[in-house]
Amino acid sequence: MLSPEDLKRQALANVQDATESNAENPALTALRDSSLAALKAAVFPGRKTEQWKYTSLQPLADGHLNRRAAAAATPADLPELGDYRLVLVNGRLDESSSALPDGVTLKREASRLEGLTTPFALYNGAALDDAITLEVAANTDVAGTVQVIHYADGDQPAHCNTRLEVVLGTGSRMTLIEQYLGRGPVLTNAVTAIETRDNAHLSHYRLQSEARDSLHIGTLLLRQSGVSRIDSYQLMAGNRLRRNDVRAFIDKSGAELNMNGIFVARDRTHIDNQLCVEHRVPDCTSNQVYRGLAGEKGKAILNGRIHIHPGASGTLAELSNKNLLLNPGAEIYTKPELEIYNDDVKCAHGATVGQLDAGQQFYLQARGVPLAEAKRMLSLGFVNELVMGLPDQTVADWAQPWLAGELGQSRGADEEAA
């Protein structure tokens, strides 16, 4: 049995290897040093850790943290969803990536960030091979969509660390598509940090569809340091282990945050979403809408927390999570939380877990629709509102066949049910 102490021992050993092999990159030295100091004091999660109670790290017993994924070639068939594309393979930037639009600057560096407190996020900073920071100049309306692809590739258990930081200057606008792809038993340990300043507007799409035998532990950090708007869309398929920690800090009155998500766990795949929105100033708005589906032996978790600080009067915050069990053997755990320290707020949360309606299935079957297709149609209808609401048509066009594939017949389960 892999213990938290074993995980920490492996992580610290690999930090030493990374430090020796990357000493030539001084831009990351300060981050590595501070992250290593924090990692040494950190405690890795175990079976008794509340926020990890439904997610076991036992899949890492195969030795993913003992081996760093080697450099690999960029596949030729990667999707093109944006006008500009950056590709990172096993955490390293492909130098042949396209140029960026006017007003967007790329730097090969990363920063110390408040809110990156999980041991895996600390390990990410301590053991980075490469990192990219995109800075959008003030008063820039970025022409075209920027796509960043994180591709993990390997034939044996290994891991890679990937880091993306984005800063939108005052009065800027940008659409960013962040996509995770890959094949093989590779753990992607990812950190994405986004900051928006006054009058900035970001549309952010986070698409996670690596192979089912891969693993993903990721942190998404959103910080609204100005009166800004962030529209976040997350589409996720389950794999052997998927963990998403999303933390948002709203630090300027008048800021608005909208987060929408769809997650699908089929067969024996796993998804764990941990969300926390920190309202730290008055008169801000946040809205979270997530839809989850689980079939066969899939397991899906969503824990959504809204934290209203003492000075955050006039806050308007809502969270909705609706889930659908496609088979009796699937599992869904949902837990919305409100932590409020101010009386002058309007907050709401709700969560449901249901099953496919037998009457609707019978109606479709009576009209000649096979059972598997009836289930797929009803499942698509459950999330269709969010898919149709995606503002970027290219992402919507990608999402529809992706969802149809994820919700299609899965290894004979529907024949057994029939």
- pLDDT per residue as tens digits for the range 11-45: 998 887 665 555 557 778 889 999 999 999 999 99
Q: Is 338 left (phi over 0), alpha (psi -120 to 50) or beta?
A: beta
pTM: 0.94
Going by C-alpha positions, the residue among 399, 401, 402, 400 that lies closest to residue 177 is 399
Give the Cα separation of 121 and 24 in Å (integer): 22
Quick one: pLDDT at residue 314?
Answer: 97
Distances (CA, A) of 228 to 169, 201, 231, 249: 10, 6, 10, 12
Structure tokens at 302: 């969503």
What is the reported pLDDT for 36?
92
- What is the pLDDT at residue 18? 62
How remote is the C-alpha of 339 from its chain's centroid? Answer: 23
Quick one: pLDDT at residue 231? 98
pLDDT tens readout for residues 117-158: 899 999 999 999 899 999 999 999 999 999 999 999 999 999
Residue 242 predicted with pLDDT over 80 = yes
Q: What is the CA radius of gyration of the chain?
A: 21
